[in-house]
Structure 1
């Protein structure tokens, strides 16, 4: 369980760092770029990927899709945390698991049991209640679009990563390393363009923040994979503990530390999110049995 706790800690820490970015005037795109460079170096150290088999037969369309989506959604994640807080953003990210589940039904023709159907139904209620605002509380910028984009974006990313996992010719860690490299190149290109057009300036503080962000972002991935290895016979335990842990920890930090204000319906959304993930986990257990 120590790996799950460490993974949850790293995941929530990333959200906290993004929350603090505005306070210290951090350039998110610069931090994200260094984040991927850090991930590349850590991949080399911990996973030792063999890039020899990465040829023209590799799933390049998926690699490129992920390379574009990952930095893009990371930036939107930062905006969502800044505008709507850690609580709602974390819930949006965790509930994005429903998109690959729906894709499994329509694309991969997976059968659904009653637990999964109930979980999906409660999950959509959770989304509605979590992001619900009374009309007088609406902001001029319609900030709700950010967590919704996070929800859809991370869901699509999850589907693409599952597609990579099905590509047995290459080890998953090699594909992960390749995606990080491409994401870094795309992020770096954006930074170069912004510097040349004088829309941003390179600052040491952004590089330092990106390094820290990369350490915790990679730590989340590393400990999550190690948790699955340690509990290979109980993948649903890892799945449930990780998602429930992030929602609970993120909510507590957002409410207690950052004084994020939630309505009663928003609190109901948190409860529904927890219940939905429990039912999805039960559906996995039911399949295993």
Structure 2
């Protein structure tokens, strides 16, 4: 249970840092790329065993790590586009409702059982995510923009599902730090390529505050992934239960952080969402 708490807390810290980026006019893409490099370095420092770079390619989890690195930065970019074109609430709901994807794969691939209480809990969790995360009015007004929240939904679900499959079948516990580090390195490599194109086209200039922001972001980002994998590795709960608790808790904590630190107002709808979230967590863990 401690890994769930730690993962949620580090995700809440990510929320605070990303919220501050706009206040200090930090370029999100630049900070994101630096953040991945920072997380990569942290993973190497914390990995207490010797390794050979050429041997990493032979690891059974290497292809999955490469794919995840691509998904990390791609999904983040699409989430940013969704926030701009469809609204922040649409991006948040699409991301967190993707929990239904790893839950479905958990039942299909790992034979996890869904009793009446757990099914009801999952349904309430999805409703809770919508009510808690939706803080602004409006909907998708242009049908062609529907593709972006759809991509966020499937992309976020693919990340969680891939992490569970890799943890369950390919990733030894003692290599979690190395795996996390390499995954962030892949995301960093792809990000450098994107920034390089923008610089060549004279559409971007590197700024010192974006680099500093990326370093600050990279620390909690590494640990959010590390404890998520440790959470899945602990097997205290089935993955369907863990992902439900994890996603609902992140939405709740992020909402509370927004209220306490950023003076965001909680609506009656948000209050209903929090109450439903607590009920959902009780049902899926009972």
Whether these two folds match at TM > 0.5 is yes
Identify the TM-score tier after normalising by the shorter chain.
Answer: 0.7 to 0.9
Structure 1 contact 59–164 (Cα < 8 Å) conserved: yes
RMSD: 3.8
Structure 1 contact 69–157 (Cα < 8 Å) conserved: yes
Among residues 115, 118, 142, which one is paired with 1:116 in the alignment?
Answer: 118
2:162 alignment counterpart = 160
Check 1:172–1:253 CA distance in 2 against 1; reply closer, same or farther (3 A cut).
closer
Structure 2 residue 9 is matched with structure 1 residue 9 = yes
Deviation of 1:127 after TM superposition, in Å, equals 4.3
Map 1:208-247 to 2 at 5 A.
Answer: 208-222=212-226, 234=236, 239=242, 245-247=249-251
TM-score, normalised to structure 2, is 0.76
Structure 2 residue 28 is matched with structure 1 residue 28 = yes
Structure 2 residue 247 is matched with structure 1 residue 248 = no
Check 1:75–1:15 CA distance in 2 against 1; reply closer, same or farther (3 A cut).
farther
Structure 1 contact 7–224 (Cα < 8 Å) conserved: yes
1:285 alignment counterpart = none
Q: Which moved more, 1:201-210 or 1:117-126?
A: 117-126
1:197 alignment counterpart = 201
Tell me, in whole angstroms, the C-alpha distance in 1 between the residues paired with 2:8 and 2:149. Answer: 20
1:120-146: CA deviations, max 9, x gaps?
222232344346689x74475799987
Tell me, in whole angstroms, the C-alpha distance in 2 between the residues paired with 1:275 and 1:79. Answer: 33
Tell me, in whole angstroms, the C-alpha distance in 1 between the residues paired with 2:170 and 2:83. Answer: 36
Check 1:222–1:76 CA distance in 2 against 1; reply closer, same or farther (3 A cut).
same
3-state DSSP class of the match of 1:124? Answer: helix
Deviation of 1:107 after TM superposition, in Å, equals 4.2
Tell me, in whole angstroms, the C-alpha distance in 1 between the residues paired with 2:140 and 2:90. Answer: 16
Structure 2 residue 176 is matched with structure 1 residue 177 = no
Check 1:53–1:281 CA distance in 2 against 1; reply closer, same or farther (3 A cut).
farther
Tell me, in whole angstroms, the C-alpha distance in 1 between the residues paired with 2:5 and 2:112. Answer: 31
Check 1:126–1:223 CA distance in 2 against 1; reply closer, same or farther (3 A cut).
closer
1:286 alignment counterpart = none
The runs of 5 or more residues in structure 1 that have no matched partner are 283-289
Map 1:50-89 to 2 at 5 A.
Answer: 50=51, 51=53, 53-56=55-58, 58-77=60-79
Check 1:11–1:45 CA distance in 2 against 1; reply closer, same or farther (3 A cut).
same
